[in-house]
Each structure stands twice: as structure tokens, then as C-alpha cells.
């Protein structure tokens, strides 16, 4: 009984709601994948309970293990066969592991540990974290997986914002990155350039580059207020909508559950992210605060970009929707991160502030 009293139910409640909707929509659109998604959810929940019971203060001791494991897993992906021109997965037969998804909470631990140390003043604080970031981002970019590159860079940027760097220096750094965009453009794959171009005018090539975005918008619009009902979504069931159980699962939900279903999802994410921020706001410890905010950043940017591209407001980048999209790596990664946050929240309930030496 004491074990279950330590669970953060305010954090877990919206997670259960999101997983329930995920299982329902996958059973409706892709019944063959329902059993796997259910297994992933059960494994994820077990890992949530496990990580919520592990004292988060031990994670800095595993810094080099996490970093080495991250690099090894990313390198191993290049040894397997390419899938649709990408080397993002390690194939175990019935299950494909995507390291760039799985290692996200461990990357947050790495960044939280690095940024919690005092390496100097101003921009000198980020030199060492930046050197650790570069190999990870380059390997993910090489796969290629531009969507997850954005996620990792966003987590890094949020850590910088919490590093008390003067506002003028931040603006100078942001401006410098903007000027580097033309260089980055030359290193992008042609399909990545096409996705960005089609975002600006999807109707210019409705049967080609703009097809995915237009079909997602049609699916969401056809759901109207109450939706067409489970199993009645024409865009997904007739295969007009691509990746309807992964990248465009929000469009599938909008079609079958309507505006009310989509709004319910946004409410679940609002409660989940709000709870993480509430936990982070109580923290006096720098490592713990960076860890909690890093997990928040990981989930927030994926939700923001995925829903944005489903609504045609952002370019298509291939980012999954946490706890809703089909995929074991993403679900397990998110549950691990939330388990860590749950432990942080549990630790802050004591009257004595936590100090890490």
C-alpha cells in the first residue's frame, strides 16, 4: 500500500487518458497493431512505476554510462538495413527499437547534469554541454531524422534559457543560428527540403509534396464537432491519410472523435504539462529543476510540432505524438521520463529541501 501512495496520480491520470484514446483509435484504424500497442503501454507503465521509485539523485552517477550508451545505440542503427531511406531502427524481429526516441530521457539527464555545474559565466557555461550535444545531434541528423534533431536542440535551448545567460547574449546567439540556416539547408536531404517548401504552399503540388498536409486537414475538418465515430473515418480507413496511426494520429482522432475528442486530448496534455511545471516550480535544487523542465520540454515540443503539422500550421517533420502515436520506443521513453519526474515530485514533498553534492 505504501508503494502506491508514492505514485503521483495527478501526473498519471492524464497519461491513462491519453493511452486509453491511443488504444481506442489504433483498434479502430489498425486493429492488427492493437496488441503490440497494448504490450508497449503495459511495459511503459511498469517502467513508470520502476523509475518513480528510484531516487533521481543517483542518475548523475550514471552520466558516462548514459552518454556512451546513447552514442553506441545511435551508431548501431547504421549497421542495419535502411527503411524508406532512413537508418533509425534496430530490428529485433517483431519489434524495431528507435534509439533516437528511447534515449530522450537519458539525454535530459546528461544535459541536466552538465548545465547544473558551474563552468564559468555567460556563454562559457554552455561550451562543455555543447561539445557533448554535437555528436548526438550529428548522428541523428545523419540517420536522417530532422524531427528528433529539433527535439534535442529544443531541450538544449531550454537548458540554456535556465542558465542565467544575459538576454542580449541569447538574442545574439539566436541571430547567429538563424544566419546558419542557409548552410544547414545544403546538408538537408531533398525530401526534407521538399517538405519545407510544400508547407509554404501545399496546394502547389496537392498530389505530391503537399498531399500529406492536405489529407490531414481534410480528415480533421470532416470530423466536425462530434466526429464520424470509431471505425468510420474514411481518410484513414480508405488509406487517403498516410501514417494515420503514427505521425498523423491526431488527424485520425479529429476525424473519428471530432473537435470534442481533439479538445479532450489538448486538455490531457495541458494537465500533464501543467503538473510537470508545478513540480518544477517547487524545486530548490538546480539538477532536479533542469531534469523536470527538460522532460517538460521533450513532451511539449513534440506535442506542439505534431499537432501543428496535423493542422497544416507547421512543416511535416515526422515527430510522433507522445503516448498517442503507435510505437514502443516513443511510449517507453515518455513513461521513463514521467517516472523520473514523479520521483522528483515525491521527493519534494518532504519538508527538508533536497541538496545534491
Q: Identify which of 83, 100, 15, 81 has the alpha carbon closest to the alpha carbon of residue 275.
A: 15
Count CB-CB contacts under 10 A for residue 279.
25
C-alpha closest to that of 110 among 68, 143, 66, 75: 66
The pTM assigned to this predicted structure is: 0.87
Residue with cell 562543455: 128
How does residue 352 score in pLDDT terms, banded at 50, 70 and 90?
very low
Considering the domain boundaries, does residue 206 fall inside one?
A: yes
Query: What percent of the chain is modeled with pLDDT above 70?
Result: 79
Residue 129 domain flag: yes
Please tell me the least confidently modeled range out of 4-13, 163-172, 208-217: 163-172
Q: What is the number of structural domains in the chain?
A: 1
For residues 25-34, average pLDDT: 91
Domain that holds residue 73: 2-347
Is there a domain that residue 275 lies in?
yes
Q: What's the pLDDT at 1? A: 47
- Nearest of 88, 85, 62 to residue 74 by alpha carbon: 88
User: Could you tell me if residue 12 is inside a domain?
Assistant: yes
Dump pLDDT digits (tens) for 207-226: 555 677 778 888 888 888 88
Residue 296's CB: how many other CB atoms inside 10 A?
Answer: 23
Q: Is 154 exposed, middle or buried (0-12, 13-18, 19+ CB in 10 A)?
A: middle
Looking at residue 117, what is its pLDDT? 83
Element (H, E) at 351: none
Range with lowest mean pLDDT among 49-53, 110-114, 163-167? 163-167
Q: How far is CA 119 from CA 107, 116, 169, 284, in A?
A: 19, 9, 17, 20
* Rounded Cα gap, residues 325 and 319, in angstroms: 9
Predicted local confidence at residue 204, as pLDDT: 53
The pLDDT assigned to 355 comes to: 44
- Number of other CB atoms surrounding residue 289 within 10 Å: 19
pLDDT interval class at 353 (50, 70, 90):
very low
Assess if residue 243 is contained within a domain.
Answer: yes
Looking at the domain assignment, is residue 352 inside a domain? no
Task: Round the average pLDDT of the chain to a whole number and report it.
Answer: 84
Residue 115, domain member (yes or no)? yes
pLDDT at residue 184, as a whole number: 64
86 DSSP β-pair partners: 83
Q: Express the helix, strand and coil content of the chain in percent, nearest 5 each.
A: 70, 0, 25
In a domain, 357, yes or no: no
The single-letter DSSP state of residue 86 is B
> What is the CA 239 to chain-centroid distance, rounded?
26
Between 69-78, 106-115, 182-191, 330-339, the lowest mean confidence (pLDDT) is in: 182-191
pLDDT of residue 302: 96
Q: Is the pLDDT of residue 3 over 80?
A: no
Q: What is the pLDDT of residues 54-87, one digit of tens each?
A: 999 999 999 999 999 999 999 999 887 777 677 8
Q: At residue 287, does pLDDT exceed 80?
A: yes
Amino acid at each position: 500500500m505504501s508503494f502506491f501512495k508514492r505514485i503521483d496520480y495527478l501526473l498519471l491520470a492524464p497519461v491513462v487518458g491519453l493511452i486509453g484514446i491511443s488504444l481506442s483509435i489504433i483498434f479502430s484504424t489498425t486493429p492488427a497493431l492493437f496488441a503490440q500497442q497494448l504490450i508497449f503501454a503495459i511495459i511503459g507503465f511498469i517502467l513508470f512505476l520502476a523509475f518513480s521509485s528510484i531516487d533521481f539523485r543517483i542518475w548523475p552517477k550514471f552520466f558516462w554510462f548514459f552518454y556512451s550508451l546513447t552514442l553506441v545505440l545511435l551508431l548501431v542503427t547504421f549497421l542495419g538495413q535502411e527503411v524508406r531511406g532512413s537508418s533509425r531502427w534496430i530490428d529485433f524481429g517483431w519489434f524495431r527499437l528507435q534509439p533516437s526516441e528511447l534515449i530522450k530521457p537519458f539525454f535530459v539527464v546528461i544535459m541536466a547534469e552538465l548545465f547544473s555545474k558551474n563552468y564559468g559565466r555567460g556563454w562559457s557555461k554552455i561550451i562543455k554541454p555543447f561539445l557533448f550535444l554535437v555528436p548526438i545531434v550529428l548522428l541523428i541528423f545523419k540517420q536522417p531524422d530532422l524531427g528528433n534533431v529539433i527535439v534535442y536542440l529544443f531541450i538544449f535551448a531550454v537548458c540554456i534559457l535556465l542558465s542565467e545567460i544575459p538576454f542580449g547574449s541569447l538574442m545574439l546567439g539566436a541571430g547567429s543560428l538563424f544566419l546558419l540556416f542557409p548552410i544547414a539547408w545544403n546538408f538537408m536531404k531533398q525530401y526534407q527540403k521538399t517538405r519545407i517548401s510544400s508547407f509554404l504552399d501545399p496546394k502547389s503540388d496537392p498530389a505530391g509534396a503537399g498531399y500529406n498536409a492536405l489529407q490531414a486537414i481534410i480528415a480533421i475538418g470532416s470530423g466536425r464537432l462530434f466526429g464520424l465515430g470509431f471505425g468510420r473515418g474514411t481518410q484513414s480507413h480508405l488509406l487517403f491519410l498516410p501514417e494515420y496511426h503514427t505521425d498523423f494520429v491526431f488527424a485520425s482522432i479529429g476525424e473519428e472523435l471530432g473537435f470534442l475528442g481533439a479538445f479532450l486530448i489538448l486538455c490531457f496534455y495541458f494537465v500533464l504539462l501543467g503538473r510537470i511545471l508545478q513540480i518544477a516550480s517547487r524545486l530548490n535544487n538546480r539538477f532536479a529543476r533542469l531534469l523536470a523542465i527538460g522532460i517538460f520540454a521533450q513532451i511539449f515540443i513534440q506535442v506542439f510540432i505534431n499537432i501543428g503539422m496535423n493542422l497544416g500550421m507547421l512543416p511535416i517533420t515526422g515527430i510522433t505524438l507522445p503516448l498517442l502515436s503507435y510505437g514502443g520506443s516513443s511510449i517507453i521513453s515518455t513513461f521513463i521520463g514521467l517516472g523520473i519526474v514523479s520521483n522528483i515530485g515525491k521527493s519534494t514533498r518532504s519538508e527538508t529541501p533536497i541538496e545534491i553534492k
